[in-house]
Amino acid sequence: MNYEIALLNSIISSGDVTSCIDQNIDSVFGEYEDVWKFIVSFHGEYGKAPAKDVVKNSFKNFEFFTSEAPLQYYIDEAKKHSLGRGVRSSLYKASEALKNGEDPAKIVSLMQSEAMELMRNSGRLSDTNIVDYNERVQILRDRIENPDKKTLGVPTGFKVIDAHFGGSQPGDFIVLMGWTGVGKSAIARLVAANAWRQGYVPLIISLEMDRIQEEFRMDTILNAGEHFTNTQLTNGVGIDIDDYTGWAKGMFDGKHPIHLVTSDGIESADQNFVQSKIEQYKPDLVVLDYHTLFDDARNGGTETERAKNLSKDFKRIAVRNRVPIWDVSGVTMDGGHEERPPELSEIAWSKQLAYDADMILSIHRKRDEDIFQIVTKKTRRCAPFAFYLEWNLDSGKWKELFDHEAF
Amino acid sequence: MSMTLEEVTTLFQEYCEKHRKLFLPGPNDGPVVKSLVDFYSKHYSIEILCESIEYYIKQSKEPVQIYNFAVESSQIRDHVVAEKRRREDFDKLLHQTQERMNQINRKD
């Protein structure tokens, strides 16, 4: 029997329309979508499911039967069938496109996009009932009993951010913005390195730098000035190879991964690419560097439109995958404002960003100085905060400060 | 803070020197500076005038004339006042953050 008919019959006989609405079953309907919409509309108006005769009046050819199994069984079956139909359709379209000689890279991108849509529709974005508090009790108990888990999310390593914002939590979309060249990317990597030190797996998608440069940069940050500087690593001058090897052995051997994806050999890096990498590596934290270098899978017309689409989709990806995303965004200098951290309004897609971001950190550093100003321009779950970061990018040594005469 | 008319005129020359800009004296510099000092003393402050002068000179792509500064000064002043407020806001937020962190550290 057609799974849509079976589900609709079960809904009508059980009268439980609310469970179906709660489970986002809209997408399982194709041929009988009008019957489902009728049931929802009737339920909205009269507070209960329509009786068989009411449905019969509007849909004369609809087939009725007595459903034996519980409603949830039909919902699960319908979701399974619907997902199968979607997969078949996607594969068929891809196969036809290949036959017609279309660019395979574009076809892969299209398949990724459809796969995301299918996952969303098949219930990955689920609703919850806030009244069920047991999970929250467990989370709080874990935090109280285990001092290492004091920060709810992935610790950033910055005392001020962790104490105020509670680390990077699943679904967070955190934006680092600053004038070009102030060190936003470096701070994003410091966050990733600090997370890794605490046992978490970061994923860095960098479209800005070469793979080896990136790896040396992470070495510098993790070494924190103890053995070598970034200049020594990049120039290969004044460095003891045995010392480096010994340090690297101690630091990395037998440890969990730091995933790095650079643009080497990649034709297009868009929202689907980010999603696929998250699925591939299942990271605890993602760094995207940087915003405007990503392609927009939705083909937005202007640069602002593309940036807005990316912002919206990165937030959705963070929520869907329950992973925090740190997004690096550059702000173009205008009117000599380079002496202070940028304002949110100075980003072209600021309104979208204001909707999507859970926290926006504005970063500033005076040219050739080691002092960064870090200030929130939006926080969704804490009071605004500000602090200084003293950080020598070449040695990797850093500390948080509240007083500094540089500004 | 107060400054004589001569001191303000000298300030133009000093900032031009500092930012490597050409200072062009004008025939009406005296009355224009007087007008600027009177206006800023009454409605804003001499500090704002000094900061505006430096900002104007720093940004200027042409030889600097006091008269031209006076003509453009309202726009420059708005910018300088806004930037000053931003700095004050940052310092205030920094102080509040430090207080909160001290409280958290005391609890720990």
| Smallest Cα distance from B36 to chain A, Å | 24
Residues A36, A42, A47, A50, CA torsion sign: negative
Percentage above 70 pLDDT, chain A: 94
Q: What percent of chain B has pLDDT over 90?
A: 81
Distance from CA of B106 to the nearest CA of A (A): 13
Average pLDDT, whole number, for chain A?
Answer: 87
* Per-residue model confidence as pLDDT tens digits over A356-397: 999 999 999 877 788 999 999 999 989 999 999 999 888 888
Look at A336 and B58 and tell me if their CB atoms are within 8 Å: yes
The verdict on a CB contact (< 8 Å) between B90 and A383 is: no
- For residue A375, the chain B residues in CB contact (below 8 A) are 90, 93
**Is the predicted pLDDT of residue A336 greater than 80, yes or no?**
no
Question: What does the pLDDT read at residue A290?
Answer: 87
Nearest to B93 among A159, A386, A407 (CB): A386
Strand partners, A203: A259, A286
CB atoms within 10 A of CB A263: 16
pLDDT digits (tens, 9 = 90+) for A269-302: 899 889 989 988 999 999 999 898 999 988 888 8
* pLDDT reading at A405 higher than 70: no
Question: pLDDT tens for residues B1-55?
Answer: 778 889 999 999 999 999 999 999 999 999 999 999 999 999 999 999 999 999 9
Average pLDDT over residues A163-185: 91
pLDDT band, very low/low/confident/very high, at A149 (cuts 50, 70, 90): low
What ipTM, to 2 d.p.?
A: 0.73
The DSSP call for residue B64 is B
In degrees to the nearest 10, what's the CA dihedral of A33, A39, A41, A46?
Answer: 180
Q: Which candidate from B55, B59, B94 shows the least CB-CB separation from A387?
A: B94
Select from A1, A127, A7, A3 the least CA-distant residue to A70: A7
Contact at CB, A340 and B98, closer than 8 angstroms: no
Name the residue type at position B31.
P
Which residues, including other chains, have CB under 8 Å from residue B83's CB and lie 6 or more apart? A339, A340
Confidence at A125, pLDDT banded by 50, 70, 90: very low
A-chain residue closest to B98, CA distance: A402
Residue of A nearest to B104 (CA): A163
| Percent share of chain A, pLDDT over 90 | 46
Distance, in Å, from the CA atom of B54 to the CA atom of A40, rounded to the nearest integer, reads 67
pLDDT digits (tens, 9 = 90+) for A218-266: 999 999 888 899 999 988 888 889 999 999 999 999 999 999 998 877 7
What pTM value is reported for the model?
0.72
- Residue A326's CB is within 10 A of a number of other CB atoms, namely 29
What is the rounded distance in angstroms from the CA atom of residue A402 to the CA atom of residue B97? Answer: 8
User: Does pLDDT of A148 surpass 70?
Assistant: no
